[in-house]
Structure 1
Amino acid sequence: MSLLVGLMVRLLTVAIICFAAAVTWILVEAQNGVRVETRQSAERASHVIERSYMTGSVGRPLDFTREPSGASSNIVSVMSPGVCVSAEDRQGVRRRLCSGWTTLGPLAPEWFRRFYAAVTPTNPPVEVSASVHGEASRPVRASFDPVAAAARAWNRFRMAVALAASMALGMSVLAALAVLHALSPVQTIISGLKRLESGDETSRLPHFSTLEFRRIGVAFNDLAERLQQRTDERAALMRQLFVVQEDERKALARDLHDEFGQCLTAAGALSLSVEAGAMPDRPDLAEEARAIGRINAKMMATLRGAFAKLRPPDLEELGLEASLQLMVQGWAVTQGSRTSFTLEVDGDLADVSGKAALDIYRIVQECLTNAARHGQPQQVTVQVCRRAGAADVTVVVSDDGGGCPQEISKTGFGILGIKERIGSLGGSLSIGGANGGMRVAAVLPATAGGALA
């Protein structure tokens, strides 16, 4: 549930509670009003009866229905709407008068009359005494018509409902507008978090006028700034690590060439010497010498492949495009007819040199290694694009050897190295599927450093 919906539900709950309290108050007030008006009507009717006896003939009986006493009209005139009054005349006959209640409004619906009768107690009749000169006091009894009482409460209830509904609607609209305005920074905060999640560490939140959101914005900006600082430090460290890695590769290649290469050369020369000096009656010795030579040649070829991986060709002298072409041709020779390797260059790579050229070379090298290691492709294509005047180079390596992009991007150490290298240069990397295989696309600056040492 969204925050806005939650707040509106709470406001609606409060409105319902207030409405229920208002309905309760209306019913209680209506019931109290019925009691008060019933008693007041009884007292006023008693007073009119007393005056009627005092001003009329002593022997004339009290009659509510005959004139000229006028008692009926006088009593009804002082009765509240919906009240019925009864009193005894001198003959002991109880007479009853009821006032009209059309002024109370329309008749209440049946359901409301039942509801009103169920939730409100029945009002007992109110009885007062009318003092008659020279005679015993006469009881005057007043009661409120239940239908009239329900009509009285219904009309007040109806007006209260209309007023409450209008107020609730107006308050809901105003509250919704106020909440929307108050929560407007939330979307900005969410957008900033998404940008930060996607890797945009330059994302910053604006200054909010609300104190709480302003604190969130300050905390977010401080966090983003520290994260950007740590990322910059990490990128600088990774760049230095890659420099050290290249130095170690050169040193290892040099040691292999100076030590292991010379040993293989000597072993090859010795096998030839043994083969040449073998006696005619020892053909087995010559054959063993030739076998040693073949093993030595295979080891020398493996060593040359290691040299190619450890120490790339002279990028400054050959250029990036020629060096990539040599690498692709080397893979084609290594894989034989099983896999076709193709290099496509779009644009001029002549001015891509120094560390940028080495980074591109290493990325293509690792991508080709992954393509051969994690699948059985029949076609591997390397595309290098440098638009005229562009400050970056796009490298795309695709194959048809299958593989799951998600698994390789999570578990492949070669891909991890590519990510680290590209991240340290401020580039971007995307890994996906294409043509039944993998597609690795990298965008990195064309000028990432100085000349190679």
Structure 2
Amino acid sequence: MSLIVRITVRLAVVALIALAGTILWMLHATDARLQRGAEISVDRLERHWMYRPGLGSLGVTSSELLSGWTARASGSVVLPGVCIVVSTPTDPDSSLCNARDGLGGTVPAWFATLFERFAAPREAVVREVVFRGHRLGTIRASVDTQAATEQAWQQVSLVAGAAAGMAAGMCLLAWLAVAHALRPVGGIVRALRDLEDGADGPGATAARLPASGTAEFDDIARAFNDLAARLEHTTEERGRLTRRLFAVQEEERRMLARELHDEFG
């Protein structure tokens, strides 16, 4: 595997790990936000109940209490994703849900399973409403599972899509940047091949690598140029010694020839 591919793959893996961590954090954050919304909804309902006209008549039913709040359940009283159950001593439980905002779309089954597995455990918020020492009733708020899953999917799908696009762009830019940074490698390899293929030829050690502007490759270029210079000097010395050896051998042959001629003479 080439260095460019290896670096790009590692960047992609890091981006996927970061994306997975972000998604898990968003799942917990969405669940915590909805849980907080349940607490806020209980506080609002309690205030509306306490300030309701005719509160002195303790025989009011839970359905009468909720009838005036239904129109405001879209946000002013009961927050999206929260279900309210009101109980009074004179009336059984009456419920009011603002459970779905319709913005999350169809949630895949795998995401619903993932959300249920990694979301924080939800607990219902229970509040006893007491006015002037009289117990008026109980408010119970809980997070709707389907609404929580839809809201989480809405946020995760948007963030995941944007993050995936950014990760793809980052990998592409990293590929181009690394390819540009490693461009001097081709010249280094060619110079080494030329030095290997033509080690005995004329001018074989005259190759030099230019500076590339990158500190690491400039160090390699200086080391290569020093090696080539020493090799060139060694080659020149070897050539001089070879020529000197040939001259000495020729001189010895001439001396031997003269001695043989004189002996035969």
Q: TM-score range by the shorter chain?
A: 0.7 to 0.9
The 8 Å contact of residues 61 and 90 in structure 1, kept in 2 or not, is answered as no
SS in 2 for 1:131: strand
Q: Which residue of 2 aligns with 1:8?
A: 8
The 8 Å contact of residues 28 and 118 in structure 2, kept in 1 or not, is answered as no
Return the match for 1:73 from 71, 74, 78.
Answer: 71
The 8 Å contact of residues 99 and 144 in structure 2, kept in 1 or not, is answered as no
Q: Closer, same or farther in 2 for the Cα pair 1:239/1:95, shift >3 Å?
A: same
Q: Distance in 1 between matches of 2:170 and 2:127?
A: 49
Residue 249 of structure 1 deviates from its aligned partner by 3.7
The 8 Å contact of residues 132 and 138 in structure 1, kept in 2 or not, is answered as no
Q: Which has the higher contact order (CA 8 A, sep 6+)?
A: 2
- Residues 1:22 and 2:26 are matched in the alignment: no
The 8 Å contact of residues 47 and 130 in structure 1, kept in 2 or not, is answered as no
Q: Distance in 2 between matches of 1:140 and 1:59?
A: 16
Normalized against structure 2, the TM-score is what?
0.87
Q: Distance in 2 between matches of 1:88 and 1:115?
A: 34
Q: Distance in 1 between matches of 2:113 and 2:64?
A: 34
Q: Which residue of 2 aligns with 1:233?
A: 237
Deviations 1:298-357 (A, max 9, x none): xxxxxxxxxxxxxxxxxxxxxxxxxxxxxxxxxxxxxxxxxxxxxxxxxxxxxxxxxxxx
Q: Which residue of 1 aligns with 2:177?
A: 178
Residue 102 of structure 1 deviates from its aligned partner by 2.6
The 8 Å contact of residues 88 and 136 in structure 2, kept in 1 or not, is answered as no
Residue 110 of structure 1 deviates from its aligned partner by 1.1
Q: How does 1:230-309 map to 2 (within 5 A)?
A: 230-252=234-256
Q: Which residue of 2 aligns with 1:321?
A: none
SS in 2 for 1:124: coil
Any gaps of 5 or more consecutive residues in structure 1?
A: 263-453
The 8 Å contact of residues 8 and 175 in structure 2, kept in 1 or not, is answered as yes
Q: Distance in 2 between matches of 1:107 and 1:38?
A: 24
The 8 Å contact of residues 34 and 81 in structure 2, kept in 1 or not, is answered as no
Q: Closer, same or farther in 2 for the Cα pair 1:75/1:102, shift >3 Å?
A: closer
Residue 37 of structure 1 deviates from its aligned partner by 1.0
The 8 Å contact of residues 62 and 87 in structure 2, kept in 1 or not, is answered as no
Q: Which residue of 1 aligns with 2:148?
A: 149
Residue 250 of structure 1 deviates from its aligned partner by 4.1
The 8 Å contact of residues 39 and 125 in structure 2, kept in 1 or not, is answered as yes
Q: Which residue of 1 aligns with 2:106?
A: 107
Deviations 1:159-193 (A, max 9, x none): 11111111111111111111111111111111111
Q: Which moved more, 1:56-65 or 1:95-104?
A: 56-65
Q: Which residue of 1 aligns with 2:220?
A: 216
Residue 252 of structure 1 deviates from its aligned partner by 4.5
Q: Distance in 2 between matches of 1:251 and 1:239?
A: 18
- Residues 1:45 and 2:45 are matched in the alignment: yes
Q: Distance in 2 between matches of 1:34 and 1:66?
A: 24
The 8 Å contact of residues 87 and 139 in structure 1, kept in 2 or not, is answered as yes
Q: Distance in 2 between matches of 1:88 and 1:183?
A: 72
Q: How does 1:44-443 map to 2 (within 5 A)?
A: 44-52=44-52, 54-55=53-54, 58=57, 61-64=60-63, 70-74=68-72, 77-133=76-132, 135-198=134-197, 199=199, 200-252=204-256
Q: Which has the larger radius of gyration?
A: 1
Any gaps of 5 or more consecutive residues in structure 2?
A: none
Normalized against structure 1, the TM-score is what?
0.53
Residue 44 of structure 1 deviates from its aligned partner by 1.3
Deviations 1:193-241 (A, max 9, x none): 1122222201001122112222221221122111101101111111111
Q: Closer, same or farther in 2 for the Cα pair 1:120/1:217, shift >3 Å?
A: same
Q: Closer, same or farther in 2 for the Cα pair 1:118/1:112, shift >3 Å?
A: same
